[in-house]
């Protein structure tokens, strides 16, 4: 090959190599332009999908405070352990100390990992104590992290369990006021976008989307001091008399605020072990019972309002029994001729039935409905029952006679307490609330003030030495109230040896500040009448509550003189 031929071939190879390189560079340039301009949005989305994540920031739930600012429910910060499934699966040899620390089973964790394949997050253990959280961090296992959450704590425990309720592990209300006011109490999570590496570690916070917002505090009407007092007295009485269950409700007669609400047996919302619905059921609003003789004051009120009877009217109860249709109504003995007040004092069923049979049943029904029987109280507590008050069109004569002394009608303890506010508040029944009221509210007038005062006078007789509620007396205070004892309905029939005993009353009788209802379900140890098992609870609670509220006595003695507060203000 000649020199010229070799040179020409060299030149050709040069241009060929140069052409290939230029083509490659052109292709790279075109690809770069394509990626940087035409496909930039798509690629950015793909990158974000792999490394950009939205995470949540938790805030605490609002506190529940008693009327004086004392806490009933607070949220405390805790840590929860979570894992990045893919990373955690790769370090299985390092699991053992972690699982031992958290009390987890390796087989179950492996099963959960398989369920979370392809995901970025998996809880291992929620709400662990601070010392455990520190030890988890010290293990430094790849793919394992801590997340700040909040756990609900109830300082008063079983004392307020039924009224406050509780939340689930996600801090959502499940029972009681926690459920009723969940929307107000719950926090709003914050969100932020972060960059994460291959192992789920946060590299950088890119953007704060929204800030976490704590829940709002809730100030309720309950007075923690009176709640404690009521809990102690009710628990003691239930144990003493071997009752199946018991309930007590204390109201501010003038404002309609619920100051205490207690059920027994109680439950501790801080301990969910073996928690059953029978324990956390709020019997004060869910369980109904026949009120028995605690209903008689309202029958007498209808009689006085009708104009057919006066305060001094006499009722002949001779010979201690009264036949209505095929049924015979009995008294404990033949009381003979009784005044209206004595019908309540002696708790005469015959007297109440004779009065009722002389009244218009529509008028009776209207009074009972106006004081709140047959409808919920408006407390907004979960699963509240409306009770039972049949329409008067369905009453036969026996129904009209029976309802006069509390049979054939069903009420809740909270309903009965609300009804008694009408007697305590000069004929005005007050709307109930479990929130603290800072302003006066208007109630519904259901009877004249004169009638209400007459009924209070009669109820004072019922707790006198000659009445059935002697055990409800409170030293230095006048008390008005009524006992009730009914046979318990079991499978549609009245059980001969099973009772519900109750007491409903108010103090001080001259100007009632507090109304209280106590019920005992199936007392079985030595006594079963309302005056024996329920009235003493009323006395024990009122003795302390009236003094806690600085209510002046209305029967001062030489040995006890009421002293006004040092600042000169009138006691409330």
Which residues are known to be catalytic? 293
Q: Is 247 helix (H, G, I), strand (E, B) or coil?
A: strand
Query: Are 535 and 472 spatial neighbours (Cβ–Cβ below 8 Å)?
Result: yes
Using DSSP's 3-state secondary structure scheme, residue 199 falls into coil
Q: Could you give the 3-state DSSP secondary structure of residue 436?
A: coil
Q: Name 328's bridge partners.
A: 323
> 3-state DSSP helix/strand/coil percent for the chain, to nearest 5?
40, 25, 35
Closest residue by Cα to residue 177 from 280, 93, 81:
280
Residues 229 and 248: beta-carbon distance below 8 Å: no
Strands 245-252 and 314-316: unpaired
Which residues pair with residue 196 across a beta bridge? 202
User: DSSP string spanning 459-505?
Assistant: HHHHTSTTSS-GGG-BTTB--EEEEEEEEEEETTEEEEEEEEEEEEE
Reported as type and span, the H/E element at residue 258 is: strand 258-264
Q: Which residues contact 204 (CB under 8 A, 6 or more apart)?
A: 194, 195
Q: Which conformational region is residue 557 in: left (phi greater than 0), alpha (psi within -120 to 50 degrees), or beta?
A: beta
Dump strand ranges (E) for 159-215: 166-167, 173-175, 190-196, 202-210
How far the first Cα of the chain sits from its last, in Å, is 126
With both helix axes pointing from N to C terminus, report the angle between 361-370 and 296-306 in degrees, rounded to the nearest 10. 120
Contact 536/472 with Cβ under 8 angstroms?
yes
Residues 6+ apart with CB under 8 A from 129: 78
Containing H/E element for 523?
none
Q: Give how far Cα 349 sits from Cα of 31, 301, 320, 487, Å.
A: 101, 16, 9, 14
Q: 64-65 and 122-128: which strand pairing?
A: unpaired
Secondary structure string (H, E, C) spanning 58-108: CCCCCCEECCCCCEEEEEEEEEEEEECHHHHHHCHHHHHHHHHHHCCCHHH
Structure tokens at 386: 């409306």
- Write the DSSP assignment of 2-59 as a string of letters: -HHHHHHHHHHHHHHHHHHHHHHHHHHHHHHHIIIIISHHHHHHHHHHHHEEEEEE--
Give the integer Cα–Cα distance in Å for 221 and 252.
Answer: 9
């Amino acid at each position: 090959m000649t020199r010229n031929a070799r040179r020409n071939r060299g030149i050709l190879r040069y241009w060929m190599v140069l052409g290939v390189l230029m083509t490659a560079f052109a292709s790279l340039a075109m690809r770069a332009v394509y990626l940087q301009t035409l496909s930039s949005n798509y690629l950015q989305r793909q990158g974000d999908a792999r490394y950009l994540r939205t995470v949540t920031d938790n805030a605490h739930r609002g506190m529940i405070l008693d009327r004086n600012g004392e806490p009933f429910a607070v949220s405390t910060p805790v840590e929860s352990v979570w894992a990045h499934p893919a990373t955690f699966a790769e370090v299985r040899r390092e699991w053992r100390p972690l699982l031992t620390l958290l009390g987890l089973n390796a087989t179950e964790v492996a099963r959960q990992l398989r369920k979370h394949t392809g995901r970025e997050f998996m809880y291992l253990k929620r709400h662990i104590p601070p010392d455990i959280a520190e030890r988890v961090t010290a293990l430094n296992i790849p793919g394992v992290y801590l997340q700040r959450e909040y756990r609900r704590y109830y300082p008063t425990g079983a004392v307020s369990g039924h009224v406050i309720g509780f939340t689930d592990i996600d801090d959502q209300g499940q029972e009681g006021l926690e459920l009723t006011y969940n929307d107000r109490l719950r926090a709003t999570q914050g969100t932020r976008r972060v960059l994460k590496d291959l192992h789920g570690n946060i590299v950088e916070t890119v953007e704060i989307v929204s800030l976490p917002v704590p829940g709002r505090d809730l100030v309720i009407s309950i007075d923690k001091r009176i709640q404690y007092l009521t809990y102690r007295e009710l628990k003691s009485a239930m144990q003493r008399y071997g009752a199946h269950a018991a309930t007590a409700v204390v109201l501010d007669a003038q404002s309609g605020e619920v100051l205490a609400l207690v059920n027994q047996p109680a439950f501790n919302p801080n301990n969910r072990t073996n928690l059953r619905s029978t324990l956390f059921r709020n019997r004060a609003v869910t369980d109904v019972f026949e009120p028995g003789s605690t209903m008689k004051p309202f029958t007498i009120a209808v009689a006085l309002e009708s104009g057919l009877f006066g305060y001094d009217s006499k009722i002949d109860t001779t010979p201690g029994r009264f036949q209505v249709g095929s049924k015979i109504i009995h008294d404990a003995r033949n009381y003979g001729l009784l005044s209206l007040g004595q019908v309540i004092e002696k708790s005469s069923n015959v007297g109440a039935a004779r009065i009722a049979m002389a009244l218009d049943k529509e008028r009776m029904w209207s009074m009972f409905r106006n004081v709140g029987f047959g409808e919920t109280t408006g407390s907004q507590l979960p699963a509240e029952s409306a009770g039972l008050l049949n329409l008067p069109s369905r009453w036969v004569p026996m129904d009209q006679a029976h309802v006069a002394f509390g049979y054939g009608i069903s009420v809740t303890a909270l309903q009965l307490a609300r009804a008694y506010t009408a007697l305590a508040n000069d004929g005005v029944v007050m709307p109930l609330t479990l929130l603290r009221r800072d302003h006066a509210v208007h109630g519904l007038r259901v009877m004249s003030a004169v009638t209400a005062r007459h009924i209070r006078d009669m109820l004072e007789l019922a707790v006198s030495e000659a009445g059935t509620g002697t055990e409800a007396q409170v030293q230095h205070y006048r008390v008005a109230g009524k006992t009730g004892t009914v046979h318990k309905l079991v499978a549609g029939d009245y059980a001969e040896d099973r009772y519900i005993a109750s007491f409903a009353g108010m103090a001080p009788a001259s100007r009632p500040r507090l109304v209280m209802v106590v019920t005992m379900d199936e007392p079985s140890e030595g006594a079963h009448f309302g005056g024996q098992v329920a009235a003493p609870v009323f006395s024990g609670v009122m003795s302390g509550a009236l003094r806690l509220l600085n209510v002046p006595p209305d029967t001062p003695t030489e040995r006890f003189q009421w002293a006004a507060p040092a600042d000169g203000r009138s006691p409330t």
